[in-house]
Amino acid sequence: MDRVLHNRGRVHPETEKKVRRVLKELNYRTNIFAKHLKMGRVFNFSVLMPRPQQDSYYWLLPYRGIQKAQEELQSHKVRVNFFFFDRYDEKSVLNTGRRLLRTNPDGVLAAPVLPEGFNRFMADLPSELPLVFFDSYLPGVKPLAFIGQDAVRSGLLASRLMCQTVHRGDGLVAVIKILPEDYHIAGRIEGFLQGSRDWSGLRTETLDLVGSWTAAETARYLEAFYRKHRDLAGIFVTNAMTHKVAEWWKGNSGKDKIILIGYDPIPKNVALLKVGAIDFLISQQSERQGYEGIYALFRRVVLGEEVRNKIMTQIDIITADNVDYYQS
């Protein structure tokens, strides 16, 4: 059998025919992983993502998932190298990406949250290098796999929650667009505005907030907006900056209650959810995204298996009542 599998010759044609028929019936496949293990091969996967502390430490969530996958796969000779870029600097993506490519990785896991920088990086990326996207995506680019949430449906869900608590005529709903904008943030806004029109006719206005602003800068901007819109009844925040909005509203006594919906169970958001300053958080299973990303590369590169081109994560609603039991 060994001679047939490895085409080493010196096998009678009839014998080879019988062996190959049996192999086909048994659906036999060469154990690629065992072969690599015997050779002592080490697989280096590189991760291109924002610095973990940016966006209110949101990126620490997928980072933890990636670390967990790496720990589980250490015995399989998988090593993960992190390359962090500045979330608010397109050039940082390109420079960090080029540094990554100089290490000749076996696969890349990336969060393409700055489209311009990533499109330039993609021009340098070898076509045969396995690439997995998580968190966001790039239109027109077909990676090995995308792992993330359906952004439009996520926005639709947020809209349904808002429509059930803020009714037509109750006041204005502000939609916070975070800058710099990427495609999954735009998808959330699209879904929210579509749902607001279709289901209840809520009055909405979109505000641009820079994601790197401090809580104080955010508060000054929102206060100026509120002075013009005293009928503000709800706010939809499209990323983990939810706590900055909640802190501004909570710190101003005398204001009427507003419905605040945002994203991601980072510690500051969870604390404000528990005291009622945030009404709903939507989780995109960020830890799982990072975890699944490394495993997608492992299955394709190490095991030689096919990988689903889309791995969609759940759209979870977190409230003060279930947050203590929530696990990504």
DSSP 66-114: HHHHHHHHGGGTEEEEEEEE-TT-HHHHHHHHHHHHTT--SEEEE---S
92 shares its domain with 195: no
Query: Which pLDDT tens digits describe the chain residue by residue (328 residues)?
Result: 455 445 555 555 666 566 566 556 565 555 555 555 555 799 999 999 999 999 999 999 999 999 999 999 999 999 999 999 999 999 999 999 999 999 999 999 999 999 999 999 999 999 999 999 999 999 999 999 999 999 999 999 999 999 999 977 789 999 999 998 889 999 999 999 999 988 778 899 999 999 999 989 999 999 999 999 999 999 999 999 999 999 999 877 566 789 999 999 999 999 999 999 999 999 999 999 999 999 999 999 999 999 999 999 999 999 999 999 998 7
110 shares its domain with 158: no
Question: What CATH number does the domain containing 203 carry?
Answer: 3.40.50.2300
50 shares its domain with 162: no
User: Helix (H, G, I), strand (E, B), or coil: what is residue 41?
Assistant: coil
Domain membership flag for residue 299: yes
Nearest C-alpha neighbor of 42 from the set 64, 83, 66, 75 = 75
For the chain, first and last CA: distance in Å?
Answer: 46
172 shares its domain with 139: no
Nearest C-alpha neighbor of 312 from the set 64, 133, 109, 188 = 133
Domain membership flag for residue 320: no
Domain membership flag for residue 44: yes
Residue 286 and residue 52: Cα distance in Å, rounded? 12
134 shares its domain with 191: no
List the structure tokens of 106. Answer: 């076996």
pTM: 0.86
Domain membership flag for residue 250: yes
Domain membership flag for residue 322: no
156 shares its domain with 265: yes
Residue with tokens 């608010």: 88
Structural domains of the chain, count: 3
Domain membership flag for residue 112: yes
160 shares its domain with 251: yes
44 shares its domain with 77: yes
Alpha-helical regions (H) of the chain: 2-5, 13-25, 32-39, 54-57, 60-73, 90-101, 115-124, 151-165, 183-199, 215-228, 242-250, 267-274, 286-297
160 shares its domain with 267: yes
Domain that holds residue 13: 2-30
204 shares its domain with 114: no
For residue 180, say if its preceding peptide bond is cis, omega within 30 degrees of 0: yes
Q: What pLDDT is attached to residue 250? A: 87
Domain membership flag for residue 261: yes
176 shares its domain with 240: yes
92 shares its domain with 49: yes
Domain membership flag for residue 89: yes
Give the number of C-alpha atoms closer than 13 A to the C-alpha of residue 240, restricted to the C-beta side.
22
Helix axes 90-101, 115-124, angle to 10 degrees: 20
